[in-house]
Structure 1
Amino acid sequence: MKNLLSKWNNLSLITRIIIGLCIGAILGIVAPKATAISLLGDLFVGALRAVAPILVFVLVMSSLANSKNNGAKNMRTVVVLYLISTFMGAFVAVVGSFLFPQTLVLTKATQKVTPPSGLAAVLKNLLMNIVANPVTALSEANYIGILAWAIIFGIALKLASTGTKQFLQDASDAVTKAVQWIISCAPFGILGLVFNTVSTNGISVFTKYGSLLALLIGCMFATALIINPLIVFICTHKNPYPLVFKCLKESGLTAFFTRSSAANIPMNMALCESLGLNKDNYSVSIPLGSTINMDGAAVTITVMTLAAAHTMGLSVDFITAFILSILAAISACGASGVAGGSLLLIPLACSLFGIQNDVAMQVVGVGFIIGVIQDSMETALNSSSDALMTATAEYYQRRKAGEDFVLVPKKN
């Protein structure tokens, strides 16, 4: 047993996760009634979601309090890349929807939900979350509020004594260590999550809405494997795919099963550390990305809205669809501040074409039906892009400074 544990610990985390994934899928097929196995997944995601708000608050505050005055320029680059990536995701969805137009068999919405009444409501929600009580923000995992207050306190604490700054650094290191312990349990958590997905849903979700899912997944893959690598290449002038595949493997894989960008923040932090990135930068940009970098959400909003338009027999010209991609990108950036995420922003986008709210809510209902796959793919793209664009921004600054660098450092 001791030798077996030693061999297990010597395997890389990704290898162990893949083993857990395979075992979970097999158990989901051969023993679907062994529901106790799914508890492993619930515990893992619960632990990540519990520690992530504290991690973000302490890490961002500590990084800003102890940082030198040279990170702002890099942060501007990160934000620009986030916005470009989100817009391009929506644009890819427009092109895909024109090439492969979809129609829906509309059903009643499967959940009682209230969409935002307009873009102003989304922006108001976003601003109110920013000024939320910091204690409430922590308890409710309001990451926009957490990030805003962490930045305010972090900047204020730049004037604190050396001892106070050291305490913040020690607290940051302690929370990071706790997160590493949780991440080491990822193979067992993924096992439980995969078991639950396979035993509960099987493959029936693919049958009724197969072509719609294929378009959604195809647009997300095109964004992940064509558009994002192109952005990386333009910024770094190097082959982007080693970095792209590393981010997909070490961030996208876990995000697919946790279905939460916030819960995947610790995984992205660990990934950025393994890439040798500046902690002062990624400790701020990663939680920021989980709120405004929404490639996958922009794809979902655009594809589902154009599918609704095609179903209603509306003629959509390319200019209007281009405007839709801008609206979808802006809306997607506020998705984290709206209960229900990207699906509840579909009625907002549908209003651009004059589609009535009751019809739009039926489209939301279809979204909930395919949500098992759609939301997993969307989160995988969103979360992996956070790490990818963070790394790209830093490598871009290094290239401009004339420094030599490699996109994926070799392990020692």
Structure 2
Amino acid sequence: MSKKSVARNYAFLAVMLGAMILGSIVGWIFPQELDAEGNVISAGATVLEPLGTLFLNMMFCIVVPMVFSSIAGSVATMKSRKRAGKIMGTTVLTFVITGAIAAVIMIVIMKIFPPVLEPWTNLTEGVVEDPISIPDLIVNFFTVSDFSGLLSRSAMLPLIVFSILFGFGVNLGPGPDSLIARFLTSLSEAMMKVVQLVTYYAPIAFFGFFANLVATYGSQIATDYARALVVYYPLCFIYIFVAFPLFAWFGGGKGAVKEMFRHIAKPAITSLGTCSSVATIPTNMEEAEATGISKDVSEIVVPLGATMHMDGSCFSCILKITFLFGVFGRPFDSIGDMALMVIVAVLSSVGMSGVPGGGYIGEFIMCSVFFPDQLAIAYPIAITIGNLVDPPATMINSAGDYVVSFLVSRFVDGKDWFQKVLASRNA
């Protein structure tokens, strides 16, 4: 990458950061005002939300054909089906391991800094909708009832499953050099160019995102949830600057950490602003390609990561559980409770869709396991915490998809894969 292109990329990131800061200031100066019953008196800077929604909707329109073409095309054009299986198996295993690590870290932090010091009193029960059964939940995670259901960003995991099957169908049928395989590859490349065009609008969108965020949640952040947020927000950034470099170093060796930091800012900022792992897929794939990660690796790891790699959600799941333990005055000293927390955090996070609000199902599962008798109280509290920590949680989830590509590359392309990338650049 030339110095001119690096400067251009950082200049664009600086513009996006400036837009975020300006939006936050506007949101703080013009907050949303509510009356005692929760009705809106003054919308404040929340009127700027459509600026961000426009960008988010454009990304959602892009992401369905991009995920399908990138995954199906990658599998279809692979000369070795064994390699495709190895990439997917290594990817899923890595997601589970990093999620469990994140959950254990958060349990330790919560033991040192418990989010609630005194049990709450006079709790009012919330309303819980009729829950979906576990069998139906499993079916809906992986399939839809009709093909048209795949053409929605709310069915990302079923779309990924279909894309993998379609890719193998092309690979086993017409073959990796067939016209349809080349079409899928060309479609994926075209969608990446569409992403570049849409990205020019990003600074305006981020101004609207953060103006609305601060105007809506600024007052809540300063209330009873502040202690939890004071622990959670810094932890997410510490994780980026401690765990991510370790993952990159283990995955790529010498020079990989520096390369990771050169490229991680864009997906981190995109995910922080959009609160969507799905909307960050195009950016992650773009940065993975610029890093030199094999295309077949990034085109499988990144889309899978949008629905299955949820380290930030594992953090927030443990935060919600320990927060509610404090609310109800329950200690969590037993090894059994802690082990169950890790299991629930990983399982509830792995199945979530990478869209805003996708954690609601995970929150219901979590509350059902730990607080079945207080479900109507626990569930609304968990949702509130989830909304407040969603931006940094999504940032860890999404930016981590790019970092996991380093780890998967080590096991698929060899531990010296990055050294070969550097050698080819210097050749």
Q: Which residue of 1 aligns with 2:305?
A: 289
| TM superposition shift of 1:174 | 2.1
Q: Secondary structure of the equivalent of 2:114?
A: coil
Contact 2:278–2:355 (CA<8 Å) still a contact in 1? no
What is the CA deviation profile of residues 133-163 of structure 1, one whole-angstrom value per residue up to 9, with x for unaligned ones? 3321213530111101111111111232633
CA 1:401–1:245 in 2, change beyond 3 Å: closer, same or farther?
A: closer
Is 1:27 aligned to residue 43 of structure 2? no
For 2:409, the aligned partner's letter is: E
Contact 1:110–1:368 (CA<8 Å) still a contact in 2? no
Equivalent residue for 1:377, pick from 392, 405, 417: 392
Q: Secondary structure of the equivalent of 1:142?
A: helix
For 2:100, the aligned partner's letter is: F
Measure, in 2, the Cα distance between the counterparts of 1:141 and 1:348: 19
For 1:256, the aligned partner's letter is: L
Please identify, of 318-327 and 335-344, the stretch whose mean Cα deviation from structure 2 is larger. Answer: 335-344
| TM superposition shift of 1:376 | 0.8
Measure, in 1, the Cα distance between the counterparts of 2:364 and 2:105: 20
Structure 1 segment 219-258 matched on structure 2, within 5 A: 219-238=235-254, 241-246=257-262, 248-258=264-274
Please identify, of 188-197 and 202-211, the stretch whose mean Cα deviation from structure 2 is larger. Answer: 202-211
Q: Secondary structure of the equivalent of 1:212?
A: helix
| TM superposition shift of 1:30 | 5.0
For 1:155, the aligned partner's letter is: F
Is 1:176 aligned to residue 189 of structure 2? no
CA 1:301–1:114 in 2, change beyond 3 Å: closer, same or farther?
A: farther
Measure, in 2, the Cα distance between the counterparts of 1:335 and 1:256: 18
Is 1:266 aligned to residue 282 of structure 2? yes
Contact 2:141–2:158 (CA<8 Å) still a contact in 1? yes
Q: Which residue of 2 aligns with 1:364?
A: 379
Contact 1:255–1:376 (CA<8 Å) still a contact in 2? yes
| TM superposition shift of 1:167 | 2.4
Q: Which residue of 2 aligns with 1:5?
A: none
Please identify, of 214-223 and 316-325, the stretch whose mean Cα deviation from structure 2 is larger. Answer: 214-223
Contact 2:66–2:188 (CA<8 Å) still a contact in 1? yes
Tell me which of the two structures has the higher relative contact order, counting C-alpha pairs closer than 8 angstroms and 6 or more residues apart. 1
| Number of corresponding residues | 399
Q: Which residue of 2 aligns with 1:156?
A: 169
Contact 1:308–1:360 (CA<8 Å) still a contact in 2? no
Please identify, of 256-265 and 316-325, the stretch whose mean Cα deviation from structure 2 is larger. Answer: 316-325
Q: Which residue of 1 aligns with 2:155?
A: 142
Measure, in 2, the Cα distance between the counterparts of 1:250 and 1:297: 20
Measure, in 1, the Cα distance between the counterparts of 2:155 and 2:389: 23
Equivalent residue for 2:359, pick from 323, 342, 350: 342
Q: Which residue of 2 aligns with 1:393?
A: 408
Contact 1:213–1:374 (CA<8 Å) still a contact in 2? yes
For 2:415, the aligned partner's letter is: K
Q: Which residue of 1 aligns with 2:181?
A: 165
Equivalent residue for 1:213, pick from 217, 220, 229: 229
What is the CA deviation profile of residues 344-393 of structure 1, one whole-angstrom value per residue up to 9, with x for unaligned ones? 4345334554x334x24423322333444301111111001111101332
CA 1:28–1:309 in 2, change beyond 3 Å: closer, same or farther?
A: closer
Measure, in 2, the Cα distance between the counterparts of 1:238 and 1:113: 52
Is 1:87 aligned to residue 104 of structure 2? no
Structure 1 segment 60-71 matched on structure 2, within 5 A: 60-69=71-80, 70-71=83-84
What is the CA deviation profile of residues 234-255 of structure 1, one whole-angstrom value per residue up to 9, with x for unaligned ones? 3444466435544541112111
Please identify, of 316-325 and 253-262, the stretch whose mean Cα deviation from structure 2 is larger. Answer: 316-325
CA 1:126–1:271 in 2, change beyond 3 Å: closer, same or farther?
A: farther
Q: Which residue of 2 aligns with 1:131?
A: 143
Please identify, of 153-162 and 337-346, the stretch whose mean Cα deviation from structure 2 is larger. Answer: 337-346
Contact 2:75–2:84 (CA<8 Å) still a contact in 1? no
Q: Structure 2: where are the runs of 5+ without partners?
A: 1-6, 32-43
Measure, in 2, the Cα distance between the counterparts of 1:162 and 1:226: 45
Measure, in 2, the Cα distance between the counterparts of 1:210 and 1:141: 31
TM-score normalized by the length of structure 1: 0.85
| TM superposition shift of 1:190 | 0.8
> After the TM superposition, which segments of 4 or more aligned residues of structure 1 sit over 6 Å from their partners?
8-11, 409-412
* CA-based RMSD: 3.3
Contact 2:13–2:266 (CA<8 Å) still a contact in 1? yes
CA 1:109–1:301 in 2, change beyond 3 Å: closer, same or farther?
A: farther
For 1:23, the aligned partner's letter is: L
Contact 2:316–2:386 (CA<8 Å) still a contact in 1? no
TM-score normalized by the length of structure 2: 0.82
Q: Which residue of 2 aligns with 1:18?
A: 17
Contact 2:27–2:211 (CA<8 Å) still a contact in 1? yes
CA 1:276–1:394 in 2, change beyond 3 Å: closer, same or farther?
A: same
Please identify, of 391-400 and 149-158, the stretch whose mean Cα deviation from structure 2 is larger. Answer: 391-400
For 1:19, the aligned partner's letter is: G
| TM superposition shift of 1:64 | 1.6
Q: Secondary structure of the equivalent of 1:264?
A: helix
Measure, in 2, the Cα distance between the counterparts of 1:172 and 1:352: 41
Measure, in 1, the Cα distance between the counterparts of 2:276 and 2:225: 23
